[in-house]
Structure 1
């Protein structure tokens, strides 16, 4: 149908009740349909109007990938305001400068950023103003069409995306509705030809690891999946184990990422299955033979997964060949922010190895005399943002638009079939003393093939006024640098050979956040000896010392400082571990952050890419997940004890058995010993689950008493945490008598079945896995009952609440309902073996919404609420 603006596309997709977005923030999974996102977007748009935001005013969004990001995009466009996305890993200084340049009216911030006091514009918390509450509350009847008076024209500004700014003034690309539509319409027409053939494979799920602040990531989340009624999955973690867990458990069809992610995944797969590093044994064979030959890899990813869409940076041909060898389809495209973003794209059914495809409809591409790629079409921006009073940076940058063509700065060529090949960046090209051009990527590929090389970057260094090829290497223990250089040079042409090299010993090579492109200028300055060490990413504070320092403020950190000396709690370790995994793109286990391991040891482990972490644990961790068959889920790491979580007890048959058993014989049996008095049920009126029930712990009969007190609508949708250590003979049977093992296993299984319980470790590693499991339980629509004291009372008095209740409530965003139990310590105390009848009181309090990360203080707040009942 004709589209005059992006809002026409929005109206088309807003009527579907299919799942649009699944967001796993590392703790809890949240889902939203197309209709719910549209409803929330309209609600957010109205909020902008109420705040006085006028058409054309700028709304900056500085946040991680999440459902609310997409809500804010559409809500901003609905009121004809302009969205200004910034990568959530950008520095506060950069965001402050961008906000000042565009004179931001509103700045939307995510949960993972710290807002500077100097920022321009009114700051709104994204999760609150475009948040989950609006989405979950939406129903199919809430979506009456709404659009503010007047509609944007095709030439109306939709977004401003800043593409640089680390040292100079940021450069903002202006993107209009027409620019984006020029990308959408040709792809939509092509997809329409095959839509009916794709129906047997529905739902198509896309795991999108590109930031939404990047135009390609935005396109592959907001525009392309809706054309296929697809589902987009946003994940918190970027370690290979987490990516594989998401792909298998969510039954992902397509992975959208930068090449660096595929490189990390290749290393992980080759460690798990060394035979995948061997030469291709099936040259010329059908892809079905590849699926069968590499069926162990297929099981690792899940049989629904088949495609990798790669963009934002060049893809190494050897990396592409590796994944094709395993039977996966690799689809490359080419584009820039200035082209909104797609210029060329490989057709998924006719993908050509080593190329980035042919121009999409309406786009023209030609190669200049010096090899530069030139682009023309309605997708090309009209230039860079110029606030009142043209600045020199923007004026100079706009020189890229001349003679009716956009000069991309990339070097390439077009083959006989019309497909584009990318050679490298014009400004990164090294010109040898002989006047010959060398592309760093070609030399890097040769270096990466040498034994002992973990990563490599090639830059040009001035030597006696001449530019020479210099390699910056990340190497493994015992690697021979001269042998590495000699080996690479034997495979290179004379003019490509490495002249000099240096060893990088400061963790991973510095790369841009999001697209993971090498920061060659920083490396060039460092190699020349004229600069301090560049950071890893787009913002300061990403070294190991910086990250740990934020968790142990005021402590002096030395290389020999042990992790035990830091005094981190289990909850502190979880947060530190997740931050380290994201910063270093690796996988850690809680046991790696305990004991006598020093900071020097941890830094070496991170520098090695985490490959000393247990491979077996990584494989087990992706063998099942939140959407896996209803068996058990095992979270395994370097610790000796694995945590096995039940999911079978939330299956339909198990639920039906529990639904019949609880009211007919289990709870009536409990009522023989309890004269139950219930108070405060009115606090549950109008409350939407799931919630976190937090009760004091008096007796083994606490759970039956609370289930008896709960209305049926809550009773049969509640899961209860129980101490894992109580069932020690079941979880650690070695060396225990057979009778003890049988008794423990029987009690455990009966408890799981009839009270929907799950194990909660009290004294061992496993906090992160437990938190993730609780999040999965909540995502399935179950409330969770916990006893934050961690043990039964011996005197009847309420003991101190452990900080875990604060973390669960705050991180999962669950309302906490305090529950006080009185009298059960006299019905069945800790010292009694059989109950006696007596009065029991169960009181429900007003729900508490926890925020912040001072978990002991939050736990104290819940404890006080329970005491007051």
Structure 2
């Protein structure tokens, strides 16, 4: 449905009439998908709207929404509009003082809420709190939204275009949120103009991970898909694994995000490439350059073909990413396009409903903010050198003024009705807008948050340990230069000074919104650059920040790397004895190898991890360590020690492991037809090639290298076994293959990393001939473990590297608990294997082993999983099995492992 509308009630009318049987919302819960049809959605909204009107909600009365995204949130939003009332969404993470002000200023009598937000409402101490209506009520009990529904098909009241449809609260320079009322005509005009650009269609599935209390996802991610008759996909949470899960299971074709989200996704891709080595990185960048050049010069979209594997793993159906809230860095936009996704960007403000300009994918100029949306007039005021000046805007989507703030409203407009955006920019000859910062000193972060630096600086200098503070944006995050109070830090060494400042920042952060908190800071021993009148010279502040960074890097020298565990406090050493905490510590040490990592390291202040930065980190932790952290746990984490404790206590990971164990008993149910073909008998040509590969490998390892094979546990059992080797080199698998007889290999499957052994058709054919199964550690544990379980269920042997990846560490790394799940689901004798010498013959980065390299493969005694369960240590059965196997493999290394 793309006809012109004058009110949002007209939008609701079209939903049931034209798209009644189509899927409207696909909401991912923790384990399932909940689908709402358009007829169900509009039916519930109309019944709830009738109930609101019957309860006395008046025409034009604000009705609040304080809850995370959900299908019920959308129902409540449409119901408020249906009742002729005003949708008034609040940020669930708004500081208490600001939330109290917004609730009082709006005057809401009724508030839709759920979960932690509902409990928080009780702690605000409001004299006349609004009546809560629970969105998380499933039984229609009193106080739940379903109990408010009433029958009747007639609309309670019809509104006019000039009436207020929504009231948004946005932080300003005073610190108190400003109410921004938007009329039906404002939002409908913006919506109609967006639909006219035909960027999306009715068969699209649009993933919305952004909270709908912001006007950008409200209009672009919620109302626009509904007007199109498309499907809205809501993730279970904004943590990394859940975003990827929603892209895959929700079959999303369009992703609505902010720059920080795309930076996190790009960072995850780069991190995976770094693990594969410099050669893989260079090859990837070469393909990226080829894709970019073909698109720019010939108009060819090669990305979907060159990076098909990446698309299949991350987002099989996604065709376009939409970015708003803050400027998308041009180089990132070009990378996303080269990877094969269309990119659409836009610019606007809450006061403009929100879109003023858009960058269409077919005419995108990534260094600009795009073209004015139809109906929008743009003008540059007080043009200076180069034609830059403050951007002014006028159009049917621009609001009329702030709620209860007549003086600010008057200052916000020119005499002829143009809105002063506060942004500096210029418009080129083709009509593209180019932004050059804020007319005021407001900072806009990469997530779209507006920051008043003076407000943050005032809070920081209120701390006893901080004499002066200057705030700036750096790398998309909020940073600061701090000048300590001399008396507060006198006599302290550098580490102690930093601890004092960390404590001060933490205390200040509790009094500020989450996006106003400092992610990085540098310490200045001298006063900050200010004018004689006391105003901060901000261009000099940035120079000081960069200078201090260069000096700090020079002084740091070789201080990078994880803290020596023997130097840790006793309780921290005990914490690392828990397998889950140990795995997280090792993953952090590898991820931040260039930092000094200790249990006291602050994740935000020292490592720069902000709310969106958790997307990348949680994805890596879940896939590498099998530790899943929910949003409540993340809210409690400040330091590395906190993270280790949450990992150790993670119940979600254990619960998923139990459910996965049951699924692995019938593993072929987890694999599709294409995946099952890897388990099928090899054709004759593949068997012949496998024999040739075995003979060649045997000759090289026994002739060119000097491979010694030892069996400390006697002869290998005749039946199926699981070989459990350590892993330090790409030479490990060939060495183990040369140590086994061909008759054994003919009945053995290998777990192989898709990034190396399945990267192209030729390599996949060799892998098929060698009976290698495609194991992708980045798509979750189910499919990978299902391959191994299916091999065991078919009575075959299996080679499984439980460290997960090659390691440069001198000692054997902790074994992932997945091997414990496999052996529980399909009890099979396990054979520990210790491989030595390969780490010297072919370390990471070397292409060929030297002549006559000394290699050794030592087989241990086959052991039953029940014996492993009895001797291992850990909180779960799979952890105990993995621990026992690790100890047995290490014991096979003898003095070599002890010395390491």
Question: Normalising TM by the smaller chain, what interval?
Answer: 0.5 to 0.7
The aligned residue for residue 231 of structure 2 is 231
Q: Does 1:59 find its partner at 2:63?
A: yes
Select which of 376, 380, 385 maps to 2:403. 385
Change (3 A) 1:601 1:730: farther
Instruction: Judge conservation of contact 1:109–1:123 (CA < 8 Å) in 2.
Output: no
**Contact preservation (8 Å) 1:472, 1:503:** no
Q: Secondary structure at the match of 1:61?
A: strand
Secondary structure of 1:21 counterpart: strand
Tell whether the 8 Å contact from 2:502 to 2:605 is kept in structure 1 after alignment: no
Cα separation, 2, equivalents of 1:105 and 1:178: 25
Task: Identify which of 141, 154, 161 aligns with 2:168.
Answer: 161
* Uncovered stretches (5+) of structure 2, i.e. residues with no partner: 275-280, 384-388, 448-452, 459-467, 482-498, 535-567, 591-596, 628-651, 674-819, 833-860, 867-874, 881-900
* TM-score, normalization by structure 1: 0.53
Distance 2:579 2:155 in 1: 50
**Structure-1 separation of matches of 2:381 and 2:350:** 20
Residue 306 (structure 1) shift: 1.8
Equivalent residue of 2:377, what SS?
Answer: strand
Q: Residue 394 of structure 2 corresponds to which residue in structure 1?
A: 376
Q: Give the secondary structure class of the aligned counterpart of 2:327.
A: coil
What residue is the counterpart of 1:344 in the other structure?
Answer: 357
Indicate whether 1:151 and 2:158 are aligned. Answer: yes
Partner of 1:335: 348
| Counterparts in 2 of 1:282 and 1:642: CA distance versus 1, 3 Å | farther
How far is the alpha carbon of 1:254 from its aligned partner? Answer: 0.9
The answer for the alignment partner of 2:463 in structure 1 is none
Partner of 1:618: 623
Q: 1:7 to 1:285 in 2, by over 3 A?
A: same
1:108-257 equivalence runs, <5 A: 108-113=112-117, 114-115=120-121, 116-119=123-126, 120-128=128-136, 146-164=153-171, 168-191=175-198, 202=203, 204-257=204-257
Q: 1:310 aligns with which of 310, 316, 323?
A: 323
Deviation at 1:226, TM superposition (A): 2.4
Q: 1:730 aligns with which of 820, 826, 837?
A: 826
Cα contact 1:208–1:255 (8 A) shared by 2: yes
Change (3 A) 1:617 1:80: closer
In structure 1, distance between residues paired with 2:345 and 2:420: 21
2:378 is paired with a residue of what secondary structure? strand
Q: Say whether the 8 Å CA contact 1:309–1:332 is kept in structure 2.
A: yes
Alignment match, 2:277 = none
Q: 1:651 to 1:157 in 2, by over 3 A?
A: same
Aligned 8 A contact 2:828 2:864 in 1: no
CA distance in 2, matches of 1:587, 1:321: 30
Quick check: 1:363 aligned with 2:363? Answer: no
1:326-376 CA distance string (max 9 Å, x none): 122111011111111111112233333222321222111111124111111
1:400-438 per-residue CA deviation (whole Å, 9 max, x = no partner) reads 122210110111221222122222221128xxxxxxxxx
Match of 1:535 in 2: none
CA distance in 2, matches of 1:520, 1:167: 19
Structure 1 CA distance for aligned equivalents of residues 54 and 579 of structure 2:
44
Please, what TM-score do these two structures have when normalized by structure 2? 0.52
Residues 1:280 and 2:289 are matched in the alignment:
yes
Counterpart of 2:5? 3
Contact 1:163 1:171 in 2 (8 A): yes
Give the corresponding residue for 2:99.
95
Tell whether the 8 Å contact from 1:62 to 1:85 is kept in structure 2 after alignment.
yes
Q: Secondary structure at the match of 1:112?
A: helix
* 2: CA distance, partners of 1:521 / 1:570: 30
Q: 2-side partners of 1:97 and 1:470: how far apart?
A: 26
**Among candidates 418, 432, 446, match of residue 419 of structure 1:** 432
Contact 1:409 1:425 in 2 (8 A): yes
**Displacement of 1:292 after TM fit?**
2.7
Does 2:35 match 1:35? no
Partner of 2:335: 322
Q: Structure 1, residues 590-629: CA drift from partner, whole Å, max 9, x if none?
A: xxxxxx995658789965667888959638999xxxxxxx
Equivalent residues of 1:174, 1:385 under 8 A apart: yes
Please state whether the residue corresponding to 1:428 is helix, strand or coil: coil
Any conservation in 2 of the 1:5–1:181 contact (CA below 8 Å)? yes
3-state DSSP of counterpart to 2:293: coil
Q: Identify the residue that residue 769 of structure 2 maps to in structure 1.
A: none
Q: Distance in 1 between matches of 2:657 and 2:589?
A: 15
Asked whether the 8 Å contact 1:206–1:253 carries over to 2, the reply is yes
User: Aligned pairs, how many?
Assistant: 554
**Whole-angstrom CA distance in 1 between matches of 2:12 and 2:422:** 34
Q: 1:303 and 1:161 mapped to 2: Cα distance? A: 35
The CA deviation at 1:642 is: 11
Contact 2:830 2:862 (C-alpha < 8 Å) held by counterparts: no
Confirm or deny: 8 A CA contact 2:162 2:185 kept in the other structure: yes
Distance 1:588 1:384, change over 3 A: farther
Q: Residue 318 of structure 1: SS of its match in structure 2?
A: helix
Residue of structure 1 equivalent to 2:791: none
Tell me by how many angstroms 1:643 deviates: 4.6
* Greater percentage in helix: 2
Aligned with 2:252: secondary structure? Answer: coil
- Alignment CA distance shift 1:290-1:221 (3 Å): closer
Q: CA deviation at 1:503?
A: 14
1:117 and 1:320 mapped to 2: Cα distance? Answer: 42
Contact map agreement 1:179 1:381 (CA 8 A) in 2: yes
Distance 1:185 1:319 in 2: 29
Name the CA distance, whole Å, in 2 between partners of 1:131 and 1:734.
Answer: 50
1:148-183 alpha-carbon deviations (Å, 9 max, x no partner):
343100011111111116853321011110001111
- In structure 2, the CA distance between the partners of 1:641 and 1:474, relative to structure 1 (3 Å rule), is farther
Equivalent in the alignment of 1:18: 22
Higher RCO structure (Cα 8 Å, ≥6 apart): 1
Cα deviation for residue 383 of structure 1 reads 0.6
Alpha carbons 1:211, 1:514 under 8 Å: kept: no
2: CA distance, partners of 1:207 / 1:295: 20
Instruction: Tell which deviates more after alignment, 225-234 or 164-173.
Output: 164-173
SS in 2 for 1:150: coil
Cα offsets for 1:108-163 (capped at 9, x unmatched): 222132113523443324325799999x999xxx9997343431000111111111
Please tell me the root mean square deviation across aligned C-alpha atoms, in Å. 5.6
Match of 2:407 in 1: 395
- SS at 2:440 equivalent: helix
Say if 1:422 and 1:570 are closer, same or farther in 2 by CA, change over 3 A: same
